[in-house]
Structure 1
Amino acid sequence: MTTTTLQVRKNQIAQTRWQAVADVPLAQGQIRVEVELFALTANNITYAAMGDAMRYWDFYPSGDAEWGIIPVWGFATVIESLHGEVPVGERLYGYWPTSNRAVLQPDRVTPLGFSDAAPHRAELHAVYNQYVRTTTDAFHTSGTESTQALLRPLFVTSWLIDDFLDDNAFFGASTLLLSSASSKTAYGTAFQLAQRKGIQIVGLTSDGNKDFCKSLGCYSQVLGYGELDQLAADTPCVYLDFAGNGQLRTQIHEHFAQLKYSCAIGATHVESLRGAKGLPGPTPTMFFAPAQVKKRNKDWGAAELGQRMVTAWQAFTAKATDPAQPWMTVEHQSGQAALEKAYTRMLSGRSDPAVGQTFSLT
C-alpha cells in the first residue's frame, strides 16, 4: 500500500506537491487509518500561514524542512491495528494529515477515544492529539459527517471565543468588529454573540459577500472593508481579526480611539499579513483556543464543558443546516486534482462562502 500526501512549501504556501511513500510495517502499539472524509476551510489556510509560529507543521512532519503537511479535520477508519484496545474497523473523528492514510500510536485509551502518543507530538497541545470514537461521541450524528467535518472544529473555536469574551466582560466594550465575516468561524462566533444581551456585532467583509452575511441574521450590521467611517471613532469596541489583513488591522487601530482589545484569530488574507508592531491602542493578542479549554476544564470540569459545547453545537447546526434556508450546502469531491484546485482557489479568497467543501483521496 502507498500513502499519498499533499505538501505545501512552508515559506510560499501557494506552491504544492504530492508525495507518495510505500507504507512501512506498523510497530507494536500503532494503528493505521484510512482517511475517508475531511474538510477544507479557511481554517486550514490559517494552519498553513501560521504553520511555524503555532507549530501546525509539527503534527505530521513531511521529512523535508522546506515542505509541510496541512492538518485537516474529519473521519477515518482503522484498517490495520497492533493495539489491543483499538480494533480494525473503528471509526474515528480527529485531526489528520492531508493524505489518504495516517499512522497513530494510541495512548490513554478510554471508551470515548484516545490520544496520539507519537514521540514527535509529545510537546504539542493535547487538544489536537485527541481522537474520538464515533460510537460514543456526543457530537456525532449518523449521516451528517460532512457537516461535522466542516463546522465542528470551527464552531468549537467560535464557542470558545464567545466564552473568552464573556469571561473577560467583553473588555468593557459593547461593540464587536468581526473581519472576514463570511467565514464559518466568524459567523459561528456571531451566532453565539447574538445570544448575548446588549452586544452589537458588526461584520466586516468584502463587498461581494455583504448580502450573504446579511442573510445570516446574526450580525447587527454588515459593512464593507471600506466603510469603517460609518462607525463613530469613539465607539468602545473589540476587534476580532479572522482575516489577518494587516492593512485592515492598521485602519481599525487608527480609526477607533477606544479600541479595548484586539484579538488575532485567523490568517485567511495571506497576501496581506504583516506584523503588529507600532500600532496605536492595544497590542494584538493571538487567541489560542486550547488555552480557554484548559481554563474551563479547571473551572467546570471536562464533562460540563463538553455538555455545554454539545448543546450549543446542536443549536448552531440546526440553524446552519435548516433546509428552508441553509447557511451552507456541502460539496464533496474526490481525488488529488480536485483538492489541489480547491486549495488554490481558497488561498486566493475566491471560494463561495455558502458552499462547504469536503474531500477524500481514497
Structure 2
Amino acid sequence: MSTTDLLIRKDALGTTRLRNSSDAPLADGQVRVRIDTFALTSNNITYGAFGDAMSYWQFFPSGEEGWGRIPVWGFGSVAQSMHPGVAVGERVYGYFPMADQVVLQPDRLRPEGFTDAAPHRSELHAVYNRYMRCGADPLYTADTEDIQALLRPLFITSWLIDDFLADNDFFGADTVLLSSASSKTAYGTAFQLAQRPGIEVIGLTSPGNKLFCESLGCYSRVVGYDELELIPADALCVYVDFAGNAAFRLAVHTRFVNLRFSSSIGGTHVEHLGGAKNLPGPRATLFFAPAQIKKRTDEWGGAVMGEKLLTAWKAFTAQVTDPAAPWLVPDRHHGPEAVQAAYAEVLGGRSHPRMGHMLSFHKAL
C-alpha cells in the first residue's frame, strides 16, 4: 500500500507538491485510518502561517527538510488495526494530515474517544491529539458530517473567545472589533457575542465581503477596512484579529485611543502577516484556545463545559444551516489534484465565504 499526501513549503505556503510513498507495516498497538473527508478553511492556512511558532508542523512531520503537512479536521474509518480496543470499520473524527490515510497509536481509550500516543506528539497539546469515536460522540450526527468538519473546531475557538472576553468583563470595553469578519471563526464569535447585552459587535472586512457579513445578522454593523473613520476614535473597544494583517493592526492601534485589549487569533491575510511589536496601546496577545479550555475544565469540570458547548453548538448550527438562508454551503472535491487546487484557492483568498470546501484524496464513488 502507499500514502498520497500534499506537501507544503514551510517558508513559502504557495509552493506545494503531491507525494506518493510506500507504507510501513503497522506495529502492535497501531491503527491505519482511511481519511475519508476533511474540511479546508482559512483556519488551516493559519496553521501553516503559525506552524513554527505554535508547533502545528510537528503533528504530522513530512520527513523532508523544509516541507510540511498542514493539519486538517475531518472524518476517517479504521482500515487496519493492530490494537485490540479499536475495530476495523470504526468511524472517528479528529486531526489529520492532508493525506489519504494516517497511522495512529491509540491510547487512553474511552467509549467516546482515544488519544494518539505517537511519541512525536507526546509534548504537543492534548486537545489536538484526541480522536472522537463517532458512535459515542455527543456532537456527532451522520447527516451533518460536512458542517461538523467545517465548523466544529472553529466554533469551539469562537465560543472560547467569547467566554474569555466575558470572563474578563471585556476589559472594560463595550465594543468588540472583529477583523476578517467573513471568516467562519469570526462570525462564530460574533454569533456568541451578539447574545451579550450591551456589547456592540463590529465586523471589519473587505468591500467585496460586506454584503455577505451584513446578511448574517450577527454583527451590530459591518465596516470596510478602509472605513475605520466611521467608528469613533474614543470608542471603548477590544480588537480580535483574525486577519493577522500587520499594517491594519497598526491602523487599529493608532486610531483607537481607548483600545483596552488586542487579541491575535489567526492569519487569514497571509501575504500581510507581520510582527506586533512597538504598537501604540496594549500589547497584541496571541489567543491560545487550549489554555481557555483547561481553565474552564478545571473550574467547571469537563461534563459541565461539554453541556454548555453542546447547547451553543446546536444553536449555532441551526442558524448556519437554516434552509431559508444558509450561512454555509458545503462543496465537495475529490482526488489529489482537486485537493491541491482547493488549497491554492483558499490560500489565495479566492473562495466565496458562503462556500465550505470538503475534500478527499479518494475519488468519488
Sort the TM-score into its range (normalised by shorter chain).
Answer: over 0.9
Mapped partners of 2:314, 2:350: distance in 1: 29
Partner of 1:211: 211
Mapped partners of 2:307, 2:93: distance in 1: 18
TM-score normalised by L of structure 1: 0.99
Q: Secondary structure at the match of 1:182?
A: coil
Kindly indicate whether residue 228 of structure 2 is the aligned counterpart of residue 254 of structure 1: no
Partner of 2:100: 100
Mapped partners of 1:108, 1:196: distance in 2: 38
Query: One-letter code of the match for 2:288?
Result: F
Q: Secondary structure at the match of 1:27?
A: coil
Query: One-letter code of the match for 2:325?
Result: Q
Partner of 1:8: 8
Partner of 1:32: 32
> Could you say what the CA RMSD is over the residues aligned between the two structures, in angstroms?
0.6
Partner of 1:65: 65
Q: Secondary structure at the match of 1:29?
A: coil
Q: Deviations over 1:284-323 (max 9, x none)?
A: 0000000000000100011111111111000000000000
Partner of 1:351: 351
Partner of 1:270: 270
Partner of 1:142: 142
Query: One-letter code of the match for 1:163?
Result: D
Where in structure 2 are the equivalents of 1:1-362 lying within 5 Å? 1-362=1-362
Q: Secondary structure at the match of 1:109?
A: strand
Please state how far the C-alpha of 1:19 moved relative to its aligned partner.
1.4
Q: Deviations over 1:65-102 (max 9, x none)?
A: 20000000000000000101011011000000000000
Mapped partners of 2:339, 2:268: distance in 1: 18
Q: Secondary structure at the match of 1:60?
A: coil
TM-score normalised by L of structure 2: 0.99
Please state how far the C-alpha of 1:228 moved relative to its aligned partner.
0.3
Mapped partners of 1:227, 1:247: distance in 2: 15
Q: Deviations over 1:159-179 (max 9, x none)?
A: 000001011111110100000
Paired-residue identity, %: 60
Mapped partners of 2:336, 2:29: distance in 1: 31
Q: Secondary structure at the match of 1:5?
A: strand
Mapped partners of 1:9, 1:223: distance in 2: 35
Q: Secondary structure at the match of 2:85?
A: coil
Please state how far the C-alpha of 1:201 moved relative to its aligned partner.
0.2
Mapped partners of 1:23, 1:311: distance in 2: 42
Mapped partners of 1:3, 1:80: distance in 2: 14
Mapped partners of 2:275, 2:359: distance in 1: 33
Aligned residues: 362
Q: Secondary structure at the match of 1:75?
A: strand
Q: Deviations over 1:257-285 (max 9, x none)?
A: 01000000010101001111110001100
Please state how far the C-alpha of 1:207 moved relative to its aligned partner.
0.2
Mapped partners of 2:301, 2:31: distance in 1: 30
Mapped partners of 2:342, 2:36: distance in 1: 17
Query: One-letter code of the match for 2:145?
Result: E
Q: Secondary structure at the match of 1:250?
A: helix
Mapped partners of 1:99, 1:338: distance in 2: 12
Please state how far the C-alpha of 1:39 moved relative to its aligned partner.
0.2
Query: One-letter code of the match for 1:94?
Result: G
Query: One-letter code of the match for 1:353?
Result: P
Q: Secondary structure at the match of 1:143?
A: helix
Mapped partners of 2:82, 2:336: distance in 1: 29
Please state how far the C-alpha of 1:350 moved relative to its aligned partner.
1.3
Structure 2: runs of 5+ lacking an equivalent:
none
Q: Secondary structure at the match of 1:152?
A: helix
